[in-house]
Amino acid sequence: MPARRRQLARLWPVGVLLAGALIGWLLGSRLPTRLAPLPAPVRATTAATRDAIVVTDQAEPPNATPVLLPTTATQLHCFFRLERLPAGTPLQAQWKLGAQPLGALEPQDLRLDRQAYLAGRFTFGPPTGQPSFPPGIYQLILRSGDQVLIETSFVVAQEAEKILAQQPPAAGELRVVNLGLFGSLGSQGQPQQPSKVFPPTAKIHAVFTYLNGVAGQKLLVRWYAAGVEIPQARQEVAVQSGARQAYAWLQAKGAGLPEGVYQVGLYLPGRDQSLVSADFTIKAGTVLPPATPSTSSARGHTP
């Protein structure tokens, strides 16, 4: 067996995990799979109250809930209607990015409609210290004191306009966005140490977001070295309903991965065309950027 094939044969697919996962079970006898729900979409609107909430990058209410919002946005707009509550009800907002709490959200330019019930709009900017909105799944919660009034989730994606132009929305269509490569995950599942170049012994996390998921669907994660698939590294993701963030990771035993150009791609079973893919390089001596001090690497498994 050539030396490169022997090196690749030492690879072990080590896991597929949904962000924020704490509860898991073994998939087959090799791949540990851990699953946890991310924020649910907008709470169902009832005919009796017609409560509603939507987040958009446009200054006027949209005709339909946006599929994706762009990372280039410097502010977003929230429109809400709570017909079961009087107009003077105190209002506070909180938000999260994935499983990471972002704390209280200060509504800017809050304007209430002239209605007997609570309705209006406000704008808000990116998380503290960020020039724009990082990609991912956000949850926005409106409260009055300890009572949750209504909540919604929205997805911010890299190159959102390009994705929507190339892939027009279709009912029930499973879509994958925001594929990125990272050296570790934080204690709450947030990606850390982004890079396209990794040292041979790195644990490489391919983090992505999927939309329109239906329970029972599958996604395949396939890894390639110099254009040749590493069959031992193929992994299967069990899709959950709605929009979720997920990741797969790759790590080699011993001396690590051979230097060279690699690729990871996301596929539907039985399809040869990837939904999305990303290239990366393995190079000895590479030093990854430091992780956020308050976070730690996510648990994995290497036999």
Instruction: Quote the CA–CA distance of 295 and 183 in Å, as a whole number.
Output: 13
Return the structure tokens found at 230.
Answer: 């590493």
Q: Return the pLDDT at 217.
A: 87
CB 140, CB 154: distance < 8 Å: yes
Q: Return the pLDDT at 168.
A: 53
Q: Minimal CA–CA distance to 249: which of 22, 36, 12? A: 12
Q: Return the pLDDT at 191.
A: 87
Q: Map residue 101 onto helix, strand or coil.
A: strand
Q: Return the pLDDT at 100.
A: 84
pTM equals: 0.64
Instruction: Quote the CA–CA distance of 246 and 225 in Å, as a whole number.
Output: 22
Instruction: Quote the CA–CA distance of 275 and 29 in Å, as a whole number.
Output: 28
CB 275, CB 250: distance < 8 Å: no
Return the structure tokens found at 99.
Answer: 């499983």
Q: Return the pLDDT at 170.
A: 56
Tens digits of pLDDT across the chain (303 residues)? 455 444 544 444 334 333 332 222 222 222 232 323 333 333 334 444 578 999 999 988 888 788 889 888 889 999 999 988 888 888 899 999 988 889 888 888 888 888 889 899 999 999 988 888 999 999 999 998 888 999 999 999 888 877 776 655 555 678 888 899 999 988 777 888 999 999 999 999 999 988 888 888 899 999 999 999 999 999 999 888 888 888 999 998 888 999 999 999 999 988 888 989 999 999 999 999 888 754 333 322 222
Q: Return the pLDDT at 140.
A: 93
Q: What share of the chain is helix, strand, coil (3-state, %, to 5)?
A: 5, 50, 45
CB 151, CB 137: distance < 8 Å: no
CB 93, CB 143: distance < 8 Å: yes
Per CATH, the homologous superfamily of domain 3-38+161-282 is: Macroglobulin (MG2) domain (2.60.40.1930)
Domain 52-157 has CATH 2.60.40.10: yes
Q: Return the pLDDT at 95.
A: 94
CB 185, CB 199: distance < 8 Å: no
Q: Return the pLDDT at 293.
A: 58
**Domain chopping of the chain, boundaries:** 3-38+161-282, 52-157
Q: Return the pLDDT at 183.
A: 93
Instruction: Quote the CA–CA distance of 135 and 63 in Å, as a whole number.
Output: 23
Q: Map residue 3 onto helix, strand or coil.
A: helix
Q: Minimal CA–CA distance to 148: which of 37, 46, 51, 242? A: 51
Q: Return the pLDDT at 300.
A: 29
For strands 31-34 and 260-267, give the pairing. Answer: unpaired
Report which secondary-structure segment, H or E, holds 12.
strand 11-18
